[in-house]
Amino acid sequence: MEIEDGFDDLLGEVEVPTSPKKPKSGEDVVAGTAPKPTATKTHCVLVNQKQRGNPLLKFITSVPWEYDEIVPDYEIGKTIGILFLSLRYHNLNPDYINNRLKELGKKYDLRVLLVQVDLKDPHVALKNLTRICLLTDMTLMLAWSPEESAKIIENYKIYENKPPDRIMEKIENDPHQKIINALSSIKPVNKTDAMTLITKFGTLENIIKATEQRLADCPGFGVTKAKKLHKALHEPFLKRGQMKLQSNDEFSEEICLEDIEKMENEGKK
């Protein structure tokens, strides 16, 4: 499905919202006639009435939400607006997202298009939606089920006011985490397997001393995985007889003087 040529004209029609009016000063407000301040609903996720019946709503359980008269489908605070779109619905109504984007205008600092992928071959539709997002300053988020869609909305709310370092990669200094990282670096072992090993054996020493049969008895393991893990934990780091002089006269740290003399004598022969 190709994007219609009229879409670029649509982008030009998107209106930039005007700045909010400044409140009147005390001199301009007659005593007793000042309007009451409106309460802001920033404690929960606001949901557009159009989303009634969307299956993802029953999976939003970690944060509160309620219906409200808003422009996007979901509003997080006053800075995040989320539009929801099903790929199947998009194929049936290709103009729908264009009209919603026109309504949204330039509102919100962070504008998200949450797309639920429910087609067997979504590549063409996703390519077009990616282009639309690039042209309209939208962030494209993909989910493959209502549960995933709800989790994305929940995470936006949970991390709404959190500093960036909360979601940045951290260097773990915890010895427990270091053991998990070391074990999971062995090809057949993942982090879940590493945690299982620590839970069952308690220490790295006990894991190394364990037999193949005891390793195979761990949940998620089998004979093949246990055998590979046991071999990785017991084979020497440097095998004798395989030490060779490196190029550019660089030597391995494990080569001693006797080894060098022996290799020199063999070279003379």
Spatial strand order in the sheet of 110-116: 65-68, 45-48, 74-76, 80-86, 110-116, 139-143
Cβ neighbours of 28 (radius 10 Å): 8
259 part of a folded domain? no
d(CA 24, CA 33): 12
205 part of a folded domain? yes
Same domain, 149 and 50: yes
Same domain, 49 and 155: yes
Range(s) of the domain holding residue 128: 45-159
Residues 152/158/160/161 CA torsion (nearest 10 deg): -160
Same domain, 200 and 137: no
Is 64 within 8 Å of 94 (Cβ atoms)? no
CATH of the domain at 120: 3.40.50.10130
Identify the pLDDT of residue 185. Answer: 86
183 part of a folded domain? yes
- The count of structural domains within the chain is 2
Same domain, 51 and 129: yes
Identify the pLDDT of residue 16. Answer: 46
d(CA 149, CA 50): 16
Same domain, 114 and 186: no
CATH of the domain at 179: 1.10.150.20
Q: Is the pTM of this model over 0.85?
A: no
d(CA 76, CA 72): 10
Tens-digit pLDDT profile for the chain (269 aa)?
444 555 555 555 555 444 444 444 444 444 444 444 434 567 889 999 999 989 999 999 989 999 999 999 999 988 899 999 999 999 899 899 999 999 888 889 999 999 999 988 889 999 999 999 999 999 999 999 999 999 999 998 988 887 766 656 555 567 778 888 888 888 888 888 888 888 888 888 888 888 989 998 888 888 888 888 888 888 876 555 554 544 444 444 444 555 555 655 665 55
Identify the pLDDT of residue 261. Answer: 58
Identify the pLDDT of residue 19. Answer: 46
Closest among 64, 63, 67, 71 to 47, alpha carbons compared: 67
Identify the pLDDT of residue 253. Answer: 46
d(CA 249, CA 246): 6
| Domain final residue, candidates 127, 159, 191 | 159
Closest among 81, 83, 68, 55 to 157, alpha carbons compared: 81
Is 232 within 8 Å of 213 (Cβ atoms)? no
d(CA 138, CA 136): 6
Identify the pLDDT of residue 1. Answer: 47
Residues 169/157/128/106 CA torsion (nearest 10 deg): -110
